[in-house]
Amino acid sequence: MSTSATPSVLFVCVHNAGRSQMAAAFLTHLGGDRVQVRSAGSAPADTVNPAVVEAMKEVGIDIAAQTPKVLTVEAVQSSDVVITMGCGDTCPYFPGKRYLDWQLDDPAGQGVEAIRPIRDEIEQRIRHLLAELGIEART
């Protein structure tokens, strides 16, 4: 972790259209301005998965305006914590960064019913991450 007062977290999945978007949205929602949040994909899709947008709307978080972003070396370099979600070896590695790999089902092609448990698991992991970072989750 850097000595910065505000830790930065990068979420990476292949398409940046589902898991990483949900994780970034939860961390932004629960952590507020006490954490810098980024998300990216190794092969970003054109749009965020509409079923993911709907599932997040159910919990009061609107990600409809989000767009998938391409993973850059700069994004990894400027992050304290890099959390991968099924992107394999495509994420660059830099010493001194904290890397976590969250094994989560891929919501691609799934309906809202199948996405809800993934969404809820991500929320719990985000709450745990905030606790590890010493940041109290907003309600």
| Residues with catalytic roles | 13, 87, 91
Find all residues with CB under 8 Å of 38, minimum gap 6, and list them: 8, 9, 10, 11, 24, 69, 75, 79
Residue 81 CA to its chain's centroid (Å): 11
Helix, strand or coil, per DSSP, at residue 113: helix
CB of 14 closer than 8 Å to CB of 42: yes
Helix, strand or coil, per DSSP, at residue 84: strand
CB of 52 closer than 8 Å to CB of 20: no
